Amino acid sequence: MVETNSTSSGGIPVRVIPRRLTLLPLVMIMFFTVSGGAYGLEDLVGYSAPGMSLLLILLTPLIWSLPTALMVAELSTAMPVQGGYYAWVKKALGPFWGFQEGWWSWVTSFVDMAIYPVLFADYLSTLLVQQFDIHALENQWIHWGVTLVVIWVFAGLNIRGTKNVGDSSNWFGLFILAPFLVMSVLGIVRLIQNPYPVWQPFIPEDSTVLGAFGVGMFVVMWNYLGWDGVSTVSEEIEDPKRNYPRTLAITIPLVTLAYFLPVLGGLAVSRDWQNWTAGYFPEVAAQIGGQWLGAWLAIGGLVSAVGLFSALLLSISRLPFVMAEDGYLPKAITKMHPKFDTPWVAIIVCATIYSFFTLSAFASLVVVDVIVYSAALMLEFSALIAFRIKYPNMKRPYKIPGGWFGIILVTIFPLGVLILAVVSTIQEEGIGALYLSLAAIATGPILYPFLKKFVKKGQPDVEVPIELED
């Protein structure tokens, strides 16, 4: 039996969205919502030293990615609905917490999504200066103009449909992974020919094991966020109950290897680990294979930035769309494109917000993002537990094994990682990061009664269907 209606509570027929995302494009979209390549991992080596870095890259998928992926697999196959995690939390915990889930996730994107066009402009500026001695992008307004081109070109691509995003992600992924693979193979071959303990030192001389672990965990955890992202387009996935778990099973080892092999190959040749900072991989690649490989990796940074932006825009733009369907945002945001069947107004709203946020340097707020994202993720784990209690007979095409013991295991490990990351962040960044995070989280409860009274005006939420065993 199915607990749903063929029409919404207001009597409006439920929309039907074409399912156009097949397995391979879905894998590459998830690759970009989580990773986008090893860019940004250099700080991990510089902060925590080679040994701890290699350990964290291999350990984090087990204690963070895998439990999160198991939770996402169970909920996404039981409820493959548009809005994904927003709909899960709303159904399990009620409209108030559903709104917090959607709002917190959307608000964190204001900073996150603005970073990628800025990174593209930064990478392009560096390449133009190094290769052609062109300094045009050092002008603030030209730099901003480049970020706007990135935002609106890929907003247009998103409006044209999920298939276009998926197809472009395939090519972007190939272009990014290829130079890292070449670099990794060349570095590991040298390591075999000239054995060297790349894991030494295990931690920096001026640090403790716990200190190196905590600081490194924040960096590597940031690079393993986003396993729930693609759930927001579940209604656009072909056979989601089958393809979503398969995508997770493929992408977790893909991302892990995409991180581990380049770091291992790089450390085999570039042993000055203290100099590893963000943007250092092209220099490492040049040391391994020559300037051509370094340039290829640098251009890959440009592609990674736009690939991340495009895939994440696909995921995030569905949040204001489903929240507007429930009445918390203006109804105009629910408009679908007549030709491409995409939420084009929601995409434009997101792109406009990101355009303004690229004007200023918001990178310092990434710490706040992690904490706010963590709050939203804990609501998803709470929904997992609530569904086991409230709907024990809900059809679950994939079910986390082990009964309640399995549920406790997949919940406790991410919770421990989040607590450690928050504590280490406060130690490194100061208590100010916590205050800003709490202020960002507080915007949800503050806005909820206002939007419910003056925007929603008693409109019922769209029903989230669940299928029950006979």
Q: In this predicted model, what pLDDT tens digit does every residue of 374-432 receive, in sequence order?
A: 899 999 999 999 999 999 999 999 999 999 999 999 999 988 887 876 776 666 666 76
Q: In this predicted model, what pLDDT tens digit does every residue of 247-274 receive, in sequence order?
A: 999 999 999 999 999 999 999 998 888 8
Contact 232, 82 (CB under 8 A): yes
Long-range contacts of 269-278 (CB under 8 A, 24+ apart): 269/187, 269/190, 271/196, 273/45, 273/46, 273/49, 273/50, 274/46, 275/46, 276/42, 276/43, 276/45, 276/46, 277/42, 277/43, 277/46, 278/39, 278/40, 278/42, 278/43
pLDDT of residue 11: 40
Q: In this predicted model, what pLDDT tens digit does every residue of 57-76 receive, in sequence order?
A: 999 999 989 999 999 999 99
Confidence of residue 324 (pLDDT cuts 50, 70, 90): very high
Contact 429, 367 (CB under 8 A): yes
Confidence of residue 43 (pLDDT cuts 50, 70, 90): confident
Contact 218, 366 (CB under 8 A): no
Determine the Cα–Cα distance for residues 256 and 253; give it in Å rounded to an integer.
5
Contact 103, 317 (CB under 8 A): no
Position 366 pLDDT exceeds 80: no
Determine the Cα–Cα distance for residues 225 and 130; give it in Å rounded to an integer.
32
pLDDT: which is higher, 236 or 388: 388
Determine the Cα–Cα distance for residues 1 and 91; give it in Å rounded to an integer.
17
Cα Rg of the chain, angstroms? 22
Confidence of residue 2 (pLDDT cuts 50, 70, 90): very low
End-to-end CA distance of the chain: 6
Determine the Cα–Cα distance for residues 155 and 350; give it in Å rounded to an integer.
9
Residue 310 C-beta-side C-alpha neighbours within 13 Å: 34
Confidence of residue 304 (pLDDT cuts 50, 70, 90): very high
Query: Domains of the chain: which residue ranges?
Result: 2-467
Position 10 pLDDT exceeds 60: no
Q: In this predicted model, what pLDDT tens digit does every residue of 111-141 receive, in sequence order?
A: 888 888 988 888 888 788 877 888 888 888 9
Residues 6+ apart with CB under 8 A from 21: 29, 162, 163, 166, 233, 236, 237, 238, 243
pLDDT of residue 288: 93
**Is the pTM here over 0.85, yes or no?**
yes
| Residue where the block lists tokens 């409860």 | 445
DSSP state of 6: S
Q: What class, spelled out in words, does domain 2-467 have in CATH?
A: mainly alpha
Position 6 pLDDT exceeds 50: no
Torsion 324-326-330-335 (CA) sign: positive
Question: How far apart, in Å, are the Cα atoms of 409 and each of 65, 389, 444?
Answer: 13, 17, 29
In the beta sheet, which residues pair with residue 3?
A: 466
Determine the Cα–Cα distance for residues 423 and 211; give it in Å rounded to an integer.
11
